[in-house]
């Protein structure tokens, strides 16, 4: 009986530590060409939201309608970003109401290929405050 119970416990313990879908490798930004990827945590970790098809000279006016792969809302929750487009992007603290930066608040420029963590303090875009983005025509 002890041997059977020991075998059952071993199987249960093994099942408990087996990797789940939630522990799968994070999304590799750039898999589908030019992408802008926002991550829930620093250093491009955690759940991801991927923007594809943002053309130069256009914007994502408000992040409130977007979620990460885990279902959490993107607005005011991103900690890092990678820009895998051929243009500079600008990430803003507030939504781009009326398609203008007049009330967009703090911002950060992210060059093509650049990976960036948002700041805890200082003058740049703060952690958990990104609300919109603009893809410029500028390449460097």
Number of other CB atoms surrounding residue 75 within 10 Å: 18
Say if residue 19's pLDDT is above 60. Answer: no
Mean residue pLDDT across the chain: 84
Question: Which position has the higher pLDDT, 110 or 18?
Answer: 110
Q: Residue 33: its pLDDT value, please? A: 93
Domains and CATH numbers, the chain: 29-135 (2.60.20.10)
Binned at pLDDT 50, 70 and 90, residue 27 comes out as: confident
Please indicate, yes or no, whether the overall pTM of this predicted structure exceeds 0.75: yes
Rg of the chain, C-alpha, whole Å:
20
pLDDT digits (tens, 9 = 90+) for 28-39: 899 999 999 999
Task: Please give the pLDDT value at position 23.
Answer: 55
91-134 pLDDT, tens per residue? Answer: 999 988 766 666 788 999 999 999 999 998 888 899 999 999 99
Show the tokens assigned to 14.
């093994």
CA-wise closest residue to 70 among 108, 94, 109, 39: 39
* Other CB atoms within 10 Å distance of the CB of residue 117: 15
pLDDT in tens, 31-71: 999 999 999 999 999 999 999 999 999 999 999 999 999 99
How confident is the model at residue 140, as a pLDDT? Answer: 83
Tokens of residue 69, six digits: 């792969």
């Amino acid at each position: 009986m002890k041997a059977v119970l020991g075998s059952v416990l071993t199987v249960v313990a093994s099942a408990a530590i087996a990797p789940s879908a939630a522990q799968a490798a994070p999304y590799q930004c750039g898999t589908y060409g030019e992408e802008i990827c926002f991550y829930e945590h620093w250093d491009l970790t955690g759940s991801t939201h991927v923007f594809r098809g943002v053309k130069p000279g256009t914007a994502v006016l408000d992040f409130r309608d977007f979620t990460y792969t885990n279902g959490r809302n993107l607005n005011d929750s991103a900690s890092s970003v990678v820009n895998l487009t051929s243009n500079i992007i600008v990430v803003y603290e507030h939504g781009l109401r009326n398609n203008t930066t007049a009330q967009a608040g703090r911002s950060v420029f992210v060059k093509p290929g650049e990976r960036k963590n948002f700041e805890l303090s200082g003058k740049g875009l703060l952690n958990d405050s990104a609300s919109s983005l603009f893809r410029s025509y500028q390449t460097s």
